[in-house]
Amino acid sequence: MSEPSVWQKRIAGEWHGRPSLFDATGTWCGFEEIRRSSDFVDGVTTYKMDGGLIGGGPLAGQFRLGAPFSFGVVDSDQNRVYTGPDFFGTGQPYGSFVDSHYYGPGWQVDLNTWNQVLPDGETQVYSSVLYQGWSVVGCFNGLYTRVPSRVDSLIEAETRNGSVPYILPTKEAGAYVGELELWGSNQKLRGTVSVAIELEPINLLRTRRTTTLKGAGLDREFTTETRRDGNRLFFEGPEAWGNAIGFGRASFQSVHLTDVWKIKGREFSIDAAPGMSAGKQLAVVYELSDGGSLDSVLHGLLEWQS
């Protein structure tokens, strides 16, 4: 193609980050110092990744880079095809979010990568859940920037915050609210949805959580009692059931409503820091399924209101 796709234009340039590595239980293991770029030159897109692992524990031997990664991309806003040699698979963009599934021969894992560009256009929320078959073996996640003047401060913040667990307010009632984009499974924008996640703490480990979605054809509200056990969450009815696991500031959830609707989601606490700060910004992605079929993808940034 003579022109890069919309997604390719959105992620042009070199992105810097220090994502954290977690094992399958959610235990923090170390950092990955990474520089990523995706360049469109003479009609050909090449993705490059350079850096190294800091720490890693028992996973270090598997995930330490022996050389920079590089792989070709068939650029498209429908299906981005990763053609190797270092990664093989596909990714599907939904506006400023892409859901990718691929295999990395060097790491010997299958990956499900969610890359979300925030409304500022200069920050990415990135996660890669790593699989052996259907079993999770680890997760990388963190923030990236492509603004040179912000790199040092972001790296410093990621070093401080990377291992902070996902824990929402436990003694303060309030809600995360915002306007999110809803994209159909056909990758077409349906419109804007007003979202509120209202939290009513019951005690330090239980919270009554009410989620409201209104707009672009969605009009749903459901309440569930949420119980925390370490970095695991359990959604225990009465109007939704499921669970979640936290890898640092990112919580990955599977929620079943009382009809045929299901939600596969990631909630990332952008500014959670060591101590007792739960974070005031929540970057969210929800994949909404009608039975076994993907219906739509809802994503964006929510802000805390007491």
Q: What is the pLDDT of residues 82-134, one digit of tens each?
A: 999 999 999 999 999 999 999 999 999 999 999 999 999 999 999 999 999 99
In a domain, 81, yes or no: yes
In this structure, are 11 and 157 located in the same domain? yes
In this structure, are 148 and 198 located in the same domain? no
In this structure, are 115 and 255 located in the same domain? no
In a domain, 87, yes or no: yes
In this structure, are 43 and 94 located in the same domain? yes
Q: What is the pLDDT of residues 132-169, one digit of tens each?
A: 999 999 999 999 999 999 999 999 999 999 999 999 99
pLDDT at 47 over 90: no
In this structure, are 142 and 185 located in the same domain? no
In this structure, are 96 and 48 located in the same domain? yes
Q: What is the CATH number of the domain that holds 185?
A: 2.40.128.20
- Categorize the per-residue pLDDT at 31 as very low, low, confident or very high, splitting at 50, 70 and 90: very high
Can you give the pLDDT at residue 65? 80
C-alpha separations of 126 from 112, 227, 279, 292 in Å: 11, 26, 17, 26
Domain hosting residue 187, numbered range: 174-305
Quote the number of domains for the chain: 2
In a domain, 167, yes or no: no
C-alpha separations of 119 from 179, 196, 258, 294 in Å: 11, 18, 33, 24
Supply 148's token pair. 């040179």
In this structure, are 97 and 198 located in the same domain? no
In this structure, are 157 and 293 located in the same domain? no
Can you give the pLDDT at residue 1? 53
In a domain, 168, yes or no: no
pTM of the model: 0.96
In a domain, 1, yes or no: no
Can you give the pLDDT at residue 68? 87
pLDDT at 276 over 80: no
In this structure, are 221 and 255 located in the same domain? yes
Burial 252-275 (b: 16+ CB within 10 A, else e): bbebebeeebbbbbbbbbbbbeee
Q: What is the pLDDT of residues 50-70, one digit of tens each?
A: 888 999 999 999 998 888 888
pLDDT at 227 over 60: yes
